[in-house]
Structure 1
């Protein structure tokens, strides 16, 4: 249960919800989290996951129960974390039954001109029926609004269809993508009030990351420690303190030094998330490597692709990025991120050291 949104005082003002990009998207949440989200006290039909306002979701799961009525299907969808009912309305084309005698006459008339629109419409209707009428055990993709009906959470579908996935490719892609969305977006709190004010810790954080990135590029830095770039952020902290002092009465809070260290820590984390820098070994000596200029890393990646491309398993399609990532973590650094590796692969491909066979597959000739 997302307890941090149960108290109305903890809810962000509804006029600021649009500043959160998740609010306008179909959130790909686990069913467990959809069931546990707390409804807004300001606007019924809007729910909160870690203070992110959400009212529409995107779910992929297996049908475990079904009911059919004249106007709708009700499917129980299980994504491995829980089961939720999905109300899927039939549209007019789906419900329409074509009279066989009437259509036969029209078909014979249309055959004269060589095109039968009634037959094509009937094919379309049957194709839609096959995609929308699912059986237990089949895979369903649902997008729609989250509702609470009779004290039970459900999804009212705006789009739904059967997913043909004999090789489980769609399910594997989904299982890889959703945790990444949680890590990068859903589990990160968004300071809506700060965004509305314009001058905020959030904007200062973006400026801090940009300053460090420019410094590393201009000076062609290959590796550095936090104290090497700490001075770059001092003007940002001083400016923020001056603005706060002018607008508010003095209150007890973190010192300028503490604010500087926190800002530096968060800015470096942003650069790590983007793959711009990484720590080869996590120790008390915080040494950061600039990904694009780490020659040892580039050599390690090229050696892995060169050696494994010769193996029968990878000879035809090349090495997948996740295989390369696993090998780099074993040979070079356990802290290597996918984002950092993708920067290296892009750089090597631009210099023609490696070749992309297809999306996420690389080889070397």
Structure 2
């Protein structure tokens, strides 16, 4: 899916489906398009999907030391489901032995060790499935080795001897598709004066003010992310009657996404840039980068003395090419335009005509 066709990530929370475990057919899970903005977020039509809820029959299984791997078939397709073992199952603890022999006080009465053992065995029977068993699984969708899979946050065996659960499930899923999944999201219903778009605008303005007032020349994202904390509201509150938090990005993930988008806006405007693109994300503030200003000024001074540039000056594209050769390949035209404007305001250079510059006071 093209970025231009996607709903901006700051608006995803306006879609109720994003905050729920979507009951999608497995065939649709396989065909969902991954987001171009945030990894492991997918789109069913116009709806962003993070968590899914699937009911199906186990058609194959693998067991490893730490997890079970089940192939689940809901009639529309098969998907791989990764189900992590909890500690009692993984360790294989014999509860009777771990608690020792029952004391005299338990003879003929309530035996805590025996009851605990029964509870653990019941738990294991619901988590250890065989081929042909009915499995319900909820969790985020991932892409591993070019294949979609579900990493379980909750899974259990469903006893359905007369298929009543499956029939009810199919009816509910078709109703959800008809009333929600197949309908486009109407943002006008949810838009308010304080929209996420305004949050992005506020974030960029906060960072601009900080760079101007603090005379910051370089920074890393984690150096400035706390400045945006007032713009983030928690979305992990538990609704009444709900047993687990609402799915979706945590406040820290919201903060990271907002900061990432704000830095992209500032880069597009030429206000910040990265001299070297590496794992160590160091950003430089263009107006405060004295080395960049000096490099541009030196290039114009040297080339303006050459015969071919003496009369009309150096064209901006020639300056850009020279800066990329001598200083950094990552300097864009937008950033160079900002530097040239600053140098001209300081009377270091002068514009001879549109996009042509020469050193000020050249003999």
Instruction: Tell me the TM-score normalised to structure 1 length.
Output: 0.50
Cα offset for 1:41?
Answer: 1.2
Structure 1 residues 33 and 69: alpha-carbon distance in aligned structure 2, compared to 1, 3 A threshold: same
Is the CA contact (8 Å cut-off) linking 2:140 and 2:151 kept in structure 1?
yes
What root-mean-square deviation, in Å, do the aligned CA atoms of Structure 1 and Structure 2 show? 2.2
Q: Which runs of 5+ in 2 are unaligned?
A: 195-363
Structure 1 residues 100 and 52: alpha-carbon distance in aligned structure 2, compared to 1, 3 A threshold: closer
CA distance in 2, matches of 1:132, 1:99: 17
CA distance in 1, matches of 2:95, 2:115: 14
Deviation track 1:203-261 (CA, whole Å, cap 9, x = no partner) reads xxxxxxxxxxxxxxxxxxxxxxxxxxxxxxxxxxxxxxxxxxxxxxxxxxxxxxxxxxx
Residue of structure 2 equivalent to 1:122: 117
Cα offset for 1:197?
Answer: 5.0
Higher helix content, 1 or 2: 1
Residue of structure 2 equivalent to 1:356: none
Of the candidates 68, 93, 98, which is equivalent to residue 88 of structure 2?
93
Instruction: Tell me the TM-score normalised to structure 2 length.
Output: 0.50
Of the candidates 14, 20, 26, which is equivalent to residue 19 of structure 1?
14
Cα offset for 1:98?
Answer: 3.2
Asked if 1:163 is matched to 2:158, the reply is: yes
Structure 1 residues 27 and 82: alpha-carbon distance in aligned structure 2, compared to 1, 3 A threshold: same
Of the candidates 131, 138, 141, which is equivalent to residue 136 of structure 2?
141
Q: Which runs of 5+ in 1 are unaligned?
A: 1-5, 200-365
Is the CA contact (8 Å cut-off) linking 2:25 and 2:54 kept in structure 1?
yes
Aligned residues: 194
CA distance in 2, matches of 1:79, 1:196: 37
Is the CA contact (8 Å cut-off) linking 1:110 and 1:117 kept in structure 2?
no
Of the candidates 34, 39, 46, which is equivalent to residue 34 of structure 2?
39
Is the CA contact (8 Å cut-off) linking 1:110 and 1:116 kept in structure 2?
no
CA distance in 2, matches of 1:50, 1:29: 12
Cα offset for 1:119?
Answer: 1.6
CA distance in 1, matches of 2:76, 2:10: 33
Residue of structure 2 equivalent to 1:82: 77
Residue of structure 1 equivalent to 2:127: 132
4+ residue stretches of structure 1 with deviation over 6 A? none
Structure 1 residues 116 and 103: alpha-carbon distance in aligned structure 2, compared to 1, 3 A threshold: farther
